[in-house]
Structures are given as C-alpha cells and as structure tokens.
Structure 1
Amino acid sequence: MKTEQSVLIAFQLGKGTDHQGRFISEIWDFNSFWLEHDHKYIQWLFPIDAQTKFNRHAPVLTTDDRAAFFESEVLQQAQRKSLDLLLHFFGLQWQEGEIFPSAQLNIREHIWLKRGGHNHLRISRIIRSLALCGQHKLSYQFQQAVIKVAKEYGEVSEESMGYWFKAATDLDSNTE
C-alpha cells in the first residue's frame, strides 16, 4: 500500500507549496535581500527532525520523508540546488567538486562571517538536514568549508563553529 506524499516532499518536488503558498522554484529565485530577510523558507529547503521555535508552520522531517530523500535522486538534486543557492548567498562556490570562497566574499556583505546572527543557525540546519537526508558527503563538505572559511575570513565564535561541527554527529542510527 502506497503512503500519501507529505507536504514537504510535494514542496521539494515542485508539486506543492510552503505554508505561504510559494513553490520551491519561487524560493530558488530569491535574491540576496530576500534570502537574508525572509526567515520562513530555510525550514522548507532544509528540513530537520525537530520543530523550530521560529516558524510554527515549518515541516518536521519524518522517517518517511527521510526514506524518500534516501531513495530519490530527484529529491537529492532539489536539495543540492537549494544548497547552491545558499552557497552563493554565503559568498561560496563550487570549484572542482569542492566548496571555496568566491572572489566576492567579504565580511561586510556576508554577515555570517560576523559573530552571532541567525545565519549561524541556518548553517547548522543545512549541515544537519543534508546529513539526515542521506547526503553525508555533501553535509561534510559544506560543514568543513564553512568552518575553514569562518576561521580564515571571519569573526565567528568557537561556539558557533562547535554547533556546526556537532550538527551532523548526533544523528540516530537510521541515517547509516
């Protein structure tokens, strides 16, 4: 018997909307202003297994959702496209399969390089979501890149980097 597709999976596949009526393709078209100032999209692009106190309408990644991500190349590609969007926002880019700072990276425009802020929470969420959704290598690449870039170019606290380091290490046994 086939189970009904969750609203999260429908959203990720471009067949459904978030709680504000937006398709994933609309969020992928956000510019840097909206990526910084809209606080309700990140939970839809990078779902995790816990409810957020910042968006009561955000989906929680279920065991069935995780299984769907593990089994679907299309879902994994959608999450990779979402990561590409956020990499650009963070002043990062892909080069030969690795994540590096872009030529435009600077602490003034890329405020995640400063101490504190909601972007540090977003980074933790992205790392955890990628790992929970079976994209362990991608999660690790992103984690290592943001830690390295933060140390070299930023003023990010050791506490924030510690959260980034732990974001994918306390997953339950279903992720292996």
Structure 2
Amino acid sequence: MSDRIHAFLAGHGRDGAGRRLADVLAFDDARIEGVHDFIQWCFPLPEASRVVPGAPVLTQAEAEAIRADPAALDGLRAATARMARFYEATDGWLRAYDHNHLRITRILTALRDLIGRDAARDFHEAVMRRVQAAGSPVNPDSLVFWQRAVESADCARERILSS
C-alpha cells in the first residue's frame, strides 16, 4: 500500500479513482480543469491535501523509490508535459485568483523535490511566459508562492524527502 504513488507514476498502478496514469494523461482540457482528484497523484507532496480528503501523502521511502525509477520519473515528466500543454492552451486560470494557482504551486514543489530545481524552473518559466503574455493578471501572492516553490524547501520537507 505504501508504494501506490510510485506504482501510479511508473504506469502500472491506479489512483484512488481506479485510473492509470495513461488515463489521466489522455484527459482533454475540460477534464483537466474539472476533475480535482488527479493532481495529488501526478504531483505528490509529503503533506495531506486540504482539498481532496484521502489523497495520497508522499513518504520518504516512496520519494526515494520514485527518484530511483526511470519509469516513475518518465511518468512524472509526462504529467508535467500534459499540464504544461493545459496551461499553454487555456486561459481560464489567467486571472487574479483561480484553483489552478494552487495546482501550479503543487507541481513546482513536486518537481523540485522529485526531479530537481531545473525541472521546476523550466515549468515556472513556461507558466510565467503565459502570465506575462496575458498582461500579468495573476495575483502577486501566487507569483511569490510559485517562486518560493522553485527556490526553497522548508526544513520539514527536507527532512522528509532528503535522499
């Protein structure tokens, strides 16, 4: 049971709704926007979701397993590419406040912790290009959260996810 996130990202496990990663990656943009229980599986964190009760929580052992498994890392990269396409193709999140701003923080944090800061920076730069091209409609607090997610790791997260 403790390797559920790893199995999901590696492509041979199922999320809490019974979907495989390939199913989630095949979501159209409307489904990406409307379904709220997949993001915690694609971009796991070591703290419980306040939005989706029962969503998985990343453990140190599972983080290490993901980092050591090329298939899981490929799954995480594929999920990142899918979300990048979503943010490039849609405009609904380009406003002062939107639930996607929390998703972006989660994505950046998971990328930083599981793949590395370069992956997080690349995603951040892509998101920021869209924000700037739209006239910078996103609230300043979200922008700060995104930058912090890329650049820093708090002590608790470092203790939990240290390799």
Q: 1:74 aligns with which of 63, 71, 76?
A: 71
**One-letter amino acid matched to 1:140:** R
Which has more helix, going by share of residues?
2
TM-superposed CA distance for 1:135, in Å, is 2.8
Runs of 4+ in 1 over 4 A off after TM superposition: 173-176
- Greater shift, 21-30 or 165-174, is seen at 165-174
The structure with more radius of gyration: 1
CA distance in 2, matches of 1:34, 1:41: 10
> 2:13: which partner in 1?
16
Question: Which sections of structure 2, spanning at least 5 residues, go unmatched?
Answer: none
Q: TM-score, normalised by structure 2?
A: 0.88
CA distance in 2, matches of 1:16, 1:57: 17
The answer as to 2:143 corresponding to 1:170 is: no
> 1:64: which partner in 2?
61
Q: 1:160 aligns with which of 138, 142, 160?
A: 142
Q: TM-score, normalised by structure 1?
A: 0.82
Q: 1:87 aligns with which of 84, 88, 100?
A: 84
1:64-113 CA-partner distances (Å, limit 9, x unpaired): 1111122122211111100111111101xxxxxxxxxxxxx5xxx42121
Q: Contact 1:48/1:61 (CA < 8 Å) preserved in 2?
A: yes
Number of positions where the alignment pairs a residue of Structure 1 with one of Structure 2: 157
CA distance in 1, matches of 2:162, 2:111: 11
> 1:117: which partner in 2?
98
Q: Contact 1:52/1:58 (CA < 8 Å) preserved in 2?
A: yes
TM-superposed CA distance for 1:136, in Å, is 2.1
> 2:132: which partner in 1?
151
> 2:43: which partner in 1?
46
Look up the SS of the partner of 2:82 in the other structure.
Answer: helix
Look up the SS of the partner of 2:36 in the other structure.
Answer: coil
1:105-148 CA-partner distances (Å, limit 9, x unpaired): 5xxx4212111110000000000001111332111111233234
Q: Contact 2:97/2:139 (CA < 8 Å) preserved in 1?
A: yes
TM-superposed CA distance for 1:45, in Å, is 0.5
CA distance in 2, matches of 1:19, 1:166: 29
CA distance in 1, matches of 2:129, 2:162: 26
- Greater shift, 142-151 or 111-120, is seen at 142-151
Q: Contact 2:42/2:79 (CA < 8 Å) preserved in 1?
A: yes
CA distance in 1, matches of 2:116, 2:153: 15
